[in-house]
Amino acid sequence: MALAEVTLFFAFTIGICKILYYYRHVHFLAQLMPVIVAGLFLYIPLGIMYYARRRPAEHGIALHRFGYSVTVALSVSVTILPAFVLLYSVYQQRFLHQPLRWGLDQGWYLTLVFQLLCVAFPEEVFYRGYMQSRLNQVYGKRICLGGAQCGFGLLYTAVLFALGHYLIVFQLPSLATFIPGLAFGWLREKTGGIVAPTIFHALCNGTVLFLQ
């Protein structure tokens, strides 16, 4: 029942996003699309929780252990993101034969705030907050990984997270989001909430923009 539920709402949400993306050339839709998509990822899961009489805190949508969550997110970021930058740079130079063009646009901090509030937070509410938590309620968390109890919910959510990105643009590289999806899911289990995955998610997006 839970598996069918999250898959159905995933298909419904991504379906609407796909329609919006198809009509992205329409001026007013292009202007409103980030707000509409963020609203879908926020209010669809919150609406499901309200209807089922489940509190958001039961899904990790709370400031539970905020300081600890921020510390873990920043620690993971400092550990992983510099290595990612190095590997990406080597790949870009040696295999694609392209020069490095790192740089931050003017107003980069506003871009990072946008990534945090309008991209990472809504997606984490939907995927790690609603979806992963809902699956955990049914399938449990039987594997200990790095001090966090993980289960089928983490894996399935990461699969849908990557699939959702692919279905919007139909570009194979977007399936690579499966790997950070696993990291976001692990952070959700490690800290008990979505604060840590939201921060790390935003920093990952910011790093990709920096490299591009």
Measured CA to CA in angstroms, residue 141 lies from 136, 137, 157 at distances of 6, 9, 13
Between CA 21 and CA 55 the distance in angstroms is 32
Residue 123: pLDDT band (50, 70, 90) is very high
For 17-37, write each residue's pLDDT tens digit. Answer: 999 999 989 888 888 999 999
**Is 80 exceeded by the pLDDT of residue 100?**
no
Matching residue, tokens 């930058």: 85
Residue 97: pLDDT band (50, 70, 90) is low
Mean of per-residue pLDDT scores for the chain: 91
**Is 90 exceeded by the pLDDT of residue 185?**
yes
Matching residue, tokens 């952070």: 187
Contact status, residue 136 vs residue 151, Cβ threshold 8 Å: yes
In this prediction, residue 1 carries a pLDDT of 85
Question: For residue 149, what is the DSSP state?
Answer: E
Residue 88: pLDDT band (50, 70, 90) is confident
**Token pair of 136 as six digits:** 């955990």
**Is 80 exceeded by the pLDDT of residue 104?**
no
Q: Please, what sign has the CA dihedral across residues 184, 210, 170, 20?
A: positive
For 137-159, write each residue's pLDDT tens digit. Answer: 999 999 999 999 999 999 999 99
For 188-198, write each residue's pLDDT tens digit. Answer: 999 999 999 99
Neighbours of 100 (CB within 10 A): 10
In this prediction, residue 96 carries a pLDDT of 58
DSSP, residue by residue, 98-123: --------TTHHHHHHHIIIIIIHHH
Between CA 168 and CA 12 the distance in angstroms is 13
What value does the mean pLDDT take over residues 71-81?
96
Which residues, 6 or more positions from 137, have their beta carbon under 8 angstroms from its beta carbon? Answer: 2
Neighbours of 97 (CB within 10 A): 7
In this prediction, residue 181 carries a pLDDT of 97
What value does the mean pLDDT take over residues 174-203?
96
Matching residue, tokens 């039987």: 142
Residue 85, SS3 per DSSP: helix
